[in-house]
Amino acid sequence: MAKDKMTLLWFQTGSCGGDTMALLSADRPSFSDLLNDYPIELLWQPSLSVESVNNLNDLMDHIIQGTLPLDILCIEGSIITGPNGSGMFDTFRKTAKKNWVLKLAEKARFVLAMGTCAAFGGVHAAPPNPTDCIGLQMDKSEPGGLLPPEWRSGAGYPVINLAGCPVHPNTMTKTLAMIASGIILQLDELNRPKEFFSSLVHQGCTRNEYHEYDVEEAEFGTNGCMFFNLGCKGPYTQATCNTDLWNGRSSKTRAGVPCFGCTSPEFPEDEGLFKTEKLGPIPSKLPVGVERANYIAYKNLAKAAAPERVKKRKMEP
């Protein structure tokens, strides 16, 4: 290991491995370019390391004993605390993984939650949450998970939450590149890097014009907006999906699938993914910056003003 390189260890807890799969699709930079062009030394990644698990055993022992520095700890997956707080539903070397995470986090300069499960609990923490899953430093939207709210890493940061199910691949590699380059990360109220969680999925969506003119769809396979009836959460979900396309080509909304709000702490919400929950005739959650009292009047005026080309395009196959 070169002394001028930052060490990185990627540890999986309660996970589907989706964030690792997404990582392989990164292209700005790719994961290989990240390791070649930035001062990062990969100690371990469960799907990409060629060494046996015995090597991971040794690495973790050296890190915990203080003989091997750990700069970046990436955790993929929810923290499983069941049964009865023991964490023994999810173990490594006959010890609860949550305990390994605590020991490694104590030594790391930066701790990153790779995915909504690691950040907030995610899919595994959805009701009824049979294995008592939580996030690294948050439990859904509540501060405090495995680590208390006041916890800080060696570099002075809380857990850096790269939310998503999975995380956008370039969000992962760009954040790691920023850390390796010594750039100070600005975090939002959910400890997500503002660089990637300040814009809405709605921004850059090819269905925006239909949304503005209230051309809302009630079935899939058409061109209009999916917010009002089909469960799209893009107007109030922070992510780069439509400004940095997946694989440089597409996104959920471009493919005709509603945004599920997977970067949010309450994902997945206890409701249907393809139906918009409403209070009376109005969606229960409105686009950012929109006042409920003015929403219906605005929508009626917008629909009446819709250009003919928008209406005609709506009906195209």
Q: Pairing relation of β-strands 70-76 and 40-44?
A: unpaired
Residue 14 CB: number of other CB atoms within 10 A? Answer: 25
Residues 174, 31: Cα–Cα separation, whole Å: 10
Q: Is 133 annotated as a binding residue?
A: no
Sign of CA dihedral 165, 266, 222, 225: negative
Cis peptide before 258 (omega within 30 of 0): no
Determine if residue 259 is labeled as part of a ligand binding site. Answer: yes
Would the annotation count 74 as a binding residue?
no
Residue 262 marked ligand-binding: yes
Q: Is 124 annotated as a binding residue?
A: no
H/E run at residue 114: strand 108-114
Paired with 6 in beta bridges are 40
Q: Do residues 101 and 92 lie in contact, with contact meaning Cβ atoms separated by under 8 Å?
A: no
Burial level of 156, CB count in 10 A (0-12/13-18/19+)?
Answer: exposed
Across the chain, how many H-helices and E-strands are there?
A: 9, 13
Q: How many Å apart are CA 92 and CA 80, to the nearest integer? A: 12
Binding-site positions read 16, 117, 165, 202, 205, 225, 232, 241, 259, 262
Binding-site positions for [3Fe-4S] cluster read 241, 259, 262
Binding-site positions for [4Fe-4S] cluster read 16, 117, 165, 202, 205, 225, 232
